[in-house]
């Protein structure tokens, strides 16, 4: 059970409700806070003060007075006017994430709606009701079309609105926030899988694990920081000296390993060439002959050619 308090909603909570269908409830403290805030809104509306979205219309209709007697009809018309979404429908889990986020935001009490409005979102989540929401909407107006489609669905489920409550249901980015939360949740699992795949790959290929030494990223970070500090306080000789020392250590270790691998590779190629029993051509060194180091490149090329020909003959 996820209890909505207006704060503390985590990505794991969003995933548990949106994908795992964990039940939701509104906390008692949130109900009291929302009731107090709603009482303030009603007092302001009753005093005749013009408050945008509470006692006036929205957008181009902001100069029109919204009377309490017409609040329910006006709210329904306002929501219907903003249902301009089109294109494919978004996944049900994203709709659930959006409803959860909006319910938790309303639970803060700052939108001045009754607790019954938040209860409508909670009931829809617990009943498995997912209003159809289109993926494409207007540009530059938050998630108005998507939130309007969710609000229209809740009206169809029996929710009745009072003054100012339509604006609180529309003016939000809950669809984007919910979708982002689910994307991050999936990314966490993906990164964990990447770690496992990388570890198994390194193990399977008997890889050189020195590249994972923690001093390597530390050295990079120190080097970058030192370069940035040069513009502010001049060269940091000590930091650069330590970076160079570490670089030399890792370079020497890498060179030693690469040299060993090349040596073993040459030995294997020589053994492979000997399997075919080919006699050396005229002018070519025999085993045991020593020549200038400059001939090593020619020998390597010839051995590669032998190995390639041997592979083709066996294939």
Q: Which of 111, 93, 102 is nearest to 18 (CA)?
A: 93
pLDDT score of 266: 55
pLDDT score of 167: 87
**How do residues 185-241 score in pLDDT, each as one tens digit?**
999 999 888 888 888 888 888 888 887 777 777 776 665 665 555 555 444 555 555
pLDDT score of 203: 85
| Residue 68 region by backbone torsions, left for phi larger than 0, else alpha for psi between -120 and 50, else beta | alpha
Across 257-261, average pLDDT: 56
pLDDT score of 307: 44
Q: Which of 160, 167, 165, 117 is nearest to 141 (CA)?
A: 167
Distance in angstroms (rounded) separating the CA atoms of residues 225 and 229? 6
Chain CA centroid to CA 174, Å = 16
Tell whether the model's pLDDT for residue 275 goes beyond 50.
no
Residue with tokens 């090593």: 296
pLDDT score of 261: 53
pLDDT score of 185: 93
Pairing mode of beta strands 86-89, 24-26: unpaired
R_g (Cα) of the chain, nearest Å: 35
Tell whether the model's pLDDT for residue 311 goes beyond 80.
no
**How do residues 89-128 score in pLDDT, each as one tens digit?**
999 999 999 999 999 999 999 888 999 999 999 999 999 9
Tell whether the model's pLDDT for residue 68 goes beyond 90.
no
pLDDT score of 92: 95
pLDDT score of 239: 55
Distance in angstroms (rounded) separating the CA atoms of residues 274 and 129? 76
Per the prediction, the chain carries an average pLDDT of 77
Pairing mode of beta strands 2-4, 134-136: unpaired
- Of residues 64 and 114, which shows the higher confidence score? 114
Distance in angstroms (rounded) separating the CA atoms of residues 299 and 297? 5
Tell whether the model's pLDDT for residue 148 goes beyond 90.
yes
pLDDT score of 291: 46
- Of residues 42 and 254, which shows the higher confidence score? 42
Tell whether the model's pLDDT for residue 134 goes beyond 80.
yes
Structure token digits, residue 195: 């770690």
Sign of torsion, CA 230 232 234 236?
negative
pLDDT score of 306: 46
Tell whether the model's pLDDT for residue 310 goes beyond 50.
no
- Among 4-18, 194-208, 260-274, whose mean pLDDT is lowest? 260-274
* 314 band by pLDDT with thresholds 50, 70 and 90: very low
Distance in angstroms (rounded) separating the CA atoms of residues 216 and 218? 5
* 304 band by pLDDT with thresholds 50, 70 and 90: low
CATH numbers and ranges of domains, the chain? 2-184 (1.10.275.10), 209-278+297-314 (no CATH)
pLDDT score of 269: 52
């Amino acid at each position: 059970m996820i209890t909505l308090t207006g704060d503390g909603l985590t990505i794991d909570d969003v995933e548990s409700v949106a994908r795992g269908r964990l039940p939701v409830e509104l906390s008692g403290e949130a109900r009291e806070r929302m009731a107090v805030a709603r009482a303030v809104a009603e007092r302001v509306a009753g005093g005749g003060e013009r408050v945008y979205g509470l006692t006036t219309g929205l957008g181009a209709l902001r100069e029109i007075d919204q009377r309490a007697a017409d609040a329910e009809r006006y709210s329904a018309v306002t929501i219907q006017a903003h249902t301009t979404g089109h294109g494919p429908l978004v996944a049900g889990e994203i709709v659930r994430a959006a409803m959860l986020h909006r319910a938790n935001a309303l639970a803060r009490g700052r939108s001045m709606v009754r607790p019954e409005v938040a209860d409508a979102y909670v009931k829809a989540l617990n009943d498995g009701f997912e209003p159809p929401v289109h993926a494409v909407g207007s540009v530059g107006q938050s998630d108005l079309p998507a939130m309007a489609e969710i609000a229209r669905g809740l009206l169809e489920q029996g929710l009745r609105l009072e003054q100012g409550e339509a604006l609180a249901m529309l003016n939000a980015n809950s669809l984007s926030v919910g979708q982002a939360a689910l994307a991050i949740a999936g990314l966490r699992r993906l990164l964990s899988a990447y770690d496992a795949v990388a570890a198994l790959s390194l193990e399977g290929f008997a890889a050189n694990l020195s590249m994972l030494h923690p001093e390597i990223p530390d050295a990079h970070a120190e080097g970058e920081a030192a370069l940035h500090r040069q513009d502010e306080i001049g060269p940091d000789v000590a930091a650069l000296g330590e970076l160079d020392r570490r670089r030399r250590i890792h370079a020497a270790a890498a060179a030693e390993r690469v040299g060993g691998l090349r040596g073993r590779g040459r030995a294997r190629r020589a053994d492979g060439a000997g399997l075919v029993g080919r006699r050396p051509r005229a002018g070519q060194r025999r085993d045991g002959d020593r020549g200038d180091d400059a001939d090593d490149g020619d020998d390597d090329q010839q051995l590669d050619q032998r190995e390639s020909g041997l592979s083709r003959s066996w294939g």
